[in-house]
Amino acid sequence: MSILKQPSRRTFIQSLAGAGMLLPGMLHELMAETVKAPEPANPLAPKAPMFAARAKSVIFLYMSGGVSHVDTFDPKPKLQASHHQAYKDTFLHASPWSFKRYAKCDTEVSELFPHVGGMMDDIALIRSMHNDIPNHPQAVLQIHGGSTVETRPSMGSWMSYGLGTVNQELPSFVVLAPEIPYGGGACWDNSFLPACHQGVRVIPGQEAIPNMTPRSSLEVQDMDLGMIDFFNRRNLAQHDNDKTLAARVKTFETAAGMQKQAPDVFDLSKESDATLALYGIDRHTKKGFGWQCLMARRLAERGVRFVELIDAGSDKYTNWDSHLDIKMHATQARKVDLPIAGLLKDLKSRGMLEDTLVVWTTEFGRKPGDGSPDEEGRTHWSKAYSSWMAGGGIKGGMVYGETDDFGFETVKDSCDIHDFQATILHQMGLDHKKLTYRHAGRDYRLTDVSGRVVTEILA
């Protein structure tokens, strides 16, 4: 079977002339331009990190809606003993779930997460997270783009901008999202960064990426792409190799590459039954969080720089937004617990966990009490919540930070959103203070004007 090569601009123009589609004068002009037209800079070309990186890629597990820390990763015995008692301006609510110690490190985790609990030897648990605003839109903007007031480039876009990608036929930033989460496309927005750094959303299901199958033969499509490429480059030359135009050119090239590589990425036929069992799926699965986790591993091993998995439902009854009844957390946990543990086990067995940073987070926590003792749910709470990291140079089997006896506020080793983001960038070899982009007369960065690397959780 012969391999078809994409024709050069010169070959393409000669083919048009041979078909009688160009007048001699036009042929002479266009052939001359093929010599003059400069090669545009590739905005997704692999870039060296600023210093030695511990991770090559990030798998970002985002739980949309606000996961309650006191019901999952932050046990509070005094809260359990003070159920319905008045405290300040609220009535305390005990967790419906018990906690137990897991793995060799004896980290306490709720019974909601028995499989993730079993992996705590590989996890650095942060119990002292906090952010600025306990509303979904602002909190989602902040965890992804560092700002609560406007949409700025998401973390995956910054990673793409700072490091490029080793696989030019797949996007540098992929988002696996069955539903639009709170904050919408801001979760994967490139904002003022070049368009090629925007996340590509994959929707689990029968057709994960629309138009993945070429509508014509590869030979005809390559001829079409040759024509598009020629005129794109001529336009670039006429606009002094504008970076925005160069980025748009790259999006065409990436889209074409995806038609060649994406079908293989989504084909589970070569995965063993044992591997599929780790994620709790079978080989006919095309959706679900287990499918998302397996796809994340397959994308990371093919060189995709940043893969975000979003666990979001179509409304507050199918995500972590448990205002009405905190027991709704049980349904959400059952969906993600086994697949997340399976992802960690799979990465570890393949030697990938060493250089793949796995991050688990949500936009804020849930208040340990409420205005009435009769409430069954928990409201938004930004002063304290939990997140964790594993792999990619992270020190496993440890807990960082503490909250007070009831889980209302952080009391030790507080971790701000920008600290969290600075640490993720650091593991990828990027200095959060130096990763900047000039826009509207000022230099912007993911961490705005604050943030420190949480060195205590680094191996």
Pairwise CA distance, residues 24 & 197, whole Å? 41
**pLDDT given at position 397:** 98
**pLDDT given at position 4:** 43
Of 249, 248, 256, residue with least CA distance to 214: 256
**pLDDT given at position 37:** 47
* pTM, 2 dp: 0.87
Which residues on neighbouring strands pair with residue 389, listed in sequence order?
A: 124, 359
Of 285, 312, 278, 352, residue with least CA distance to 201: 312
Report mean pLDDT in 10-residue bins for the chain, 459 residues: 47 52 48 50 92 98 97 98 94 97 98 98 98 96 96 98 94 94 93 93 78 65 68 70 62 67 87 97 94 98 97 80 94 97 98 98 97 92 98 98 98 98 98 97 96 98
**pLDDT given at position 233:** 72
Where do the domains of the chain lie, and which CATH numbers do they carry? Answer: 51-212+260-457 (3.40.720.10)
**pLDDT given at position 259:** 73
CA 7 to chain centre: 35
Of 297, 311, 290, 365, residue with least CA distance to 73: 365
Q: At 454, which amino acid appears?
A: V
For 103, how many CA atoms within 13 A lie in the half-sphere containing its CB?
20
Of 166, 158, 172, 162, residue with least CA distance to 421: 158
Q: Which two tokens stand for residue 308?
A: 């975000």
Pairwise CA distance, residues 278 & 274, whole Å? 7
Count of beta carbons in the 10 Å neighbourhood of residue 46: 14
**pLDDT given at position 318:** 78
Q: Which two tokens stand for residue 14?
A: 């000669």
